[in-house]
Structure 1
Amino acid sequence: MPGLEAFGDRKFPAADLLLSSEGRGWQGVGLQVRSHPACDIPAPIPDEMEITLAIAGSASGRVERCAGGSFQKTAARSGTLWFCPIGVTEDSIRITEHLPEVLHIFLAKSQFESLSELSSRSLTPASVAYLADVNDELVRQICLRIYREAQEESSGGKLLVECLTQSLVAHLITSYSSDGPRLDLDHGSGHGKLDDVRLTRVLEYIQANIDQDISLSKLSDVACLSKHHFARAFREATGTPPYRFISERRLDQALDLLKRSDLPLATIAHVCRFSSQATFSRAFRRHVGVAPGEFRHRARI
């Protein structure tokens, strides 16, 4: 089944693909980075929300687009943000000059449905505003952090992206949607602290499943908290966000396997939930300072 990235393939046939989250196993979110030539872009009706951020834009180039009678003519400088909600039919999109590096984040409808369950009322993804040149540093920084994870995969990256996406969707609804003013995520079912009993249960689950994919949904279920509140409660209880805690445990596991086993590096990468040996080796070198093979050699001298 094609992922969310497939929409970008249909929408931007003339743009070179520089980076993609395809194959990373991210849930409910996709990422592409493209180099866009000056051109007119076909405008299919999106099944997911698209956030676009110019990483490297143009000093004089513009993006001109129109939907529902709203015409937008935006300078495509580095850092410029655009929103295109689910179901919006764009009549035209035109890029006037080459844009060297543009980030596209695709958010699935299921992300908004999950927020609807938490708020106990229906939230409409299409109610998010169709906007250009959005001045929102929070959205920009969340997108850039997801971008960095796509560039340099970490063993806890899928959980990190899940947490970031959840925060991003909640912010979009509260700040840019007609559903937003009544949305209260700090009250309601599942709110609470992670007491010692529940924290122990979560830590035991992580330890028992460290070589499996661990989702925010599953951790919040084990803790009997909502997804929205779990990450904050875990950080308050441990001083560490869940993705970093899991990443550190997996690094410890990798160190132990390199010291005590003859497993191939590709197998260790898989056990530690990396998408490839290459991404594992880069992440290991960042954290330890040497490549996994060299670490194994030194540990056995």
Structure 2
Amino acid sequence: MAQFEVFGDRKFPTAGLLLTSAGRDWSGVSAQLRNHAACDVPAPSPDEMEVTFAMTTSAGGRVERCSGGQFQDTAVRSGTLWFCPIGVREDAIRITRPLSNILHVFLAKSQFDSFAEMTSRTPSPANVAYLADVDDDLVRQLCLRMHRELSEETSGGKLLIECLSQALVAHLVTSYSGDAKATLGHDRVAIRLDDARLRRVLDYIHANIDQDLSLAKLSDVACLSKHHFARAFREATGVPPHRYISARRLDHAVSLLKGSQSSLADVAYLCRFSSQATFTRAFRRQVGMSPGEYRRRSAT
């Protein structure tokens, strides 16, 4: 179990775990969906930035928390957001009534270090503000998309989560910290994937479709930063990299089901799913039938 899940379990020992990214091989980010009983929550000093998002309204539910003399009392409504930065020790956390469907997103310090490499300054994750009841639709949308990947795994999900977490970190630093003046270099300059570099990236994807295709590896092939690569790839192809890879892996799964004797578990693994069950659900969503049924029909 990754350190993110260990921290979440340590902080919320009595909370029911509904969904977790454990086993998904996400890089530098983790997520858990939990139900919380009314209780006082132990408050370890976090080694990760925690963004908490209420997926649903909990009638009468409130979260009271305090850090460094700053007291916050927040009603739990659908869309409520809380931030707890790295190194901020909370003196007390109290949940007044049971809460349902609370998403916890944990961002590693390495995410902020990567952002620092792309900016004109060196932002500190500890400088992000300790806030409750944040009104920010961008953060809500990023959390909702992470939750969707958490509940319905896709073969390009790891790359998607990298892009989402990168966007979340950039937004937190530039909007909610003392490093708000940190800017991404060359943002005003159009960064494009020319035909040669695009072909190199596409050839790499096709040659390594059953391997781990991270944002860092693809941006290295394109000779661009991770930040600029995702944007340039979408402009060149019309789709974001995770969606392109998901489609190619579905094509790969179809080929394996038709032309090999590989077990369904092996096909799931070769298409980078964490389990046969998540592969089956994703395949059914796209094709309209299970992989086993598709193989049987293709054989007739």
- The CA deviation at 1:56 is 2.3
Indicate the residue corresponding to 2:2 in structure 1.
Answer: 2
Measure, in 2, the Cα distance between the counterparts of 1:37 and 1:217.
Answer: 40
CA deviations over 1:113-154 (Å, ceiling 9, x no partner): 001011143110010000000000110110110111010100
Measure, in 1, the Cα distance between the counterparts of 2:285 and 2:14.
Answer: 35
Indicate the residue corresponding to 2:128 in structure 1.
Answer: 128
Larger mean Cα displacement after TM superposition, 117-126 or 17-26: 117-126
Indicate the residue corresponding to 1:239 in structure 2.
Answer: 238
- Contact 2:63 2:95 survives alignment (8 Å): yes
Aligned CA RMSD, in angstroms, stands at 1.4
Measure, in 1, the Cα distance between the counterparts of 2:238 and 2:230.
Answer: 11
Measure, in 1, the Cα distance between the counterparts of 2:161 and 2:189.
Answer: 22
Indicate the residue corresponding to 1:79 in structure 2.
Answer: 79
CA deviations over 1:47-97 (Å, ceiling 9, x no partner): 000000111231211100000111000001121100000000100000000
Measure, in 1, the Cα distance between the counterparts of 2:188 and 2:88.
Answer: 32
Measure, in 2, the Cα distance between the counterparts of 1:96 and 1:129.
Answer: 24
Indicate the residue corresponding to 2:218 in structure 1.
Answer: 219
- The CA deviation at 1:2 is 3.2
- Contact 2:61 2:95 survives alignment (8 Å): yes
Percentage identity across aligned positions? 67
Indicate the residue corresponding to 2:277 in structure 1.
Answer: 278
Residue type at the aligned position of 2:127: S
**1:78 counterpart SS class:** coil
Measure, in 2, the Cα distance between the counterparts of 1:79 and 1:56.
Answer: 7
CA deviations over 1:152-197 (Å, ceiling 9, x no partner): 10000000000011001001111101101x2221527997210001
Q: After superposition, where does 1:9-20 map in structure 2 within 5 Å?
A: 9-20=9-20
Residue type at the aligned position of 1:241: P
Indicate the residue corresponding to 1:295 in structure 2.
Answer: 294
- Contact 1:26 1:162 survives alignment (8 Å): yes
- The CA deviation at 1:3 is 2.8
**1:263 counterpart SS class:** coil
Measure, in 2, the Cα distance between the counterparts of 1:186 and 1:254.
Answer: 39
- Contact 1:3 1:22 survives alignment (8 Å): no
Query: Runs ≥4 in structure 1, deviation > 3 angstroms?
Result: 188-191
Indicate the residue corresponding to 1:185 in structure 2.
Answer: 184
Structure 2: where are the runs of 5+ without partners?
none
Measure, in 2, the Cα distance between the counterparts of 1:249 and 1:269.
Answer: 14
- Contact 1:62 1:76 survives alignment (8 Å): yes
Structure 1: where are the runs of 5+ without partners?
none
- Contact 1:191 1:225 survives alignment (8 Å): no
User: 1:189–1:135: structure 2 CA closer, same or farther, 3 Å change rule?
Assistant: closer
Indicate the residue corresponding to 1:254 in structure 2.
Answer: 253
- Contact 1:43 1:91 survives alignment (8 Å): yes
Measure, in 2, the Cα distance between the counterparts of 1:54 and 1:47.
Answer: 22
Residue type at the aligned position of 1:54: A
Measure, in 1, the Cα distance between the counterparts of 2:57 and 2:162.
Answer: 27
Measure, in 2, the Cα distance between the counterparts of 1:186 and 1:244.
Answer: 26
Paired positions, count: 300
Measure, in 2, the Cα distance between the counterparts of 1:3 and 1:299.
Answer: 43
Measure, in 1, the Cα distance between the counterparts of 2:69 and 2:47.
Answer: 21
CA deviations over 1:233-276 (Å, ceiling 9, x no partner): 00000001000000000000000111111110000000000001
Q: After superposition, where does 1:8-87 map in structure 2 within 5 Å?
A: 8-87=8-87
TM-score, with structure 1 as normaliser: 0.97
- Contact 1:190 1:226 survives alignment (8 Å): no
Indicate the residue corresponding to 2:111 in structure 1.
Answer: 111
User: 1:220–1:190: structure 2 CA closer, same or farther, 3 Å change rule?
Assistant: farther
Residue type at the aligned position of 2:131: L
- Contact 1:3 1:30 survives alignment (8 Å): no
- Contact 1:54 1:102 survives alignment (8 Å): yes
